[in-house]
Amino acid sequence: MKTYWTTWAILLVLTVVMLWADAAAIPRPAFVVFMLAAMATKASMIAANFMHLRLERAGIILTVIVGLPVVATLLYVLIAPDAARIHQMMAAALR
């Protein structure tokens, strides 16, 4: 029971820190890295502690923590270069 409310407190602190970072004048690359790291930490804590994923067998853990993020990343990485290229073409046409 203590684990759940400790997780809750950490999630809230992380949310407040993210809001603070949003208001602070942090360079964009550092800001993006920090936000993605905080997001991954929060997601991992919810999955591990609230959903009890850390207590499951390797088959379920691997399907979730490898399968889902890998496919999600691929979805973005495979289309992102196209978006960047079209953005450049549009910028050139506007000049």
- Contact residues for other proteins, defined by CB under 8 A: 1, 4-5, 7-8, 11-12, 15-16, 18-19, 22-23, 32, 35-36, 38-39, 42-43, 46-47, 49-51, 56-57, 59-60, 63-64, 67-68, 71-72, 75-76, 79-80, 82-84, 86-87, 90-91, 94
Rounded to whole angstroms, what are the CA distances from 71 to 23, 48, 67?
A: 32, 20, 6
Tokens 């495979």: give the residue.
78
Task: Give the shortest CB-10-to-other proteins separation in angstroms.
Answer: 10
Task: Give the shortest CB-84-to-other proteins separation in angstroms.
Answer: 6
Rounded to whole angstroms, what are the CA distances from 48 to 17, 20, 41?
A: 21, 26, 10
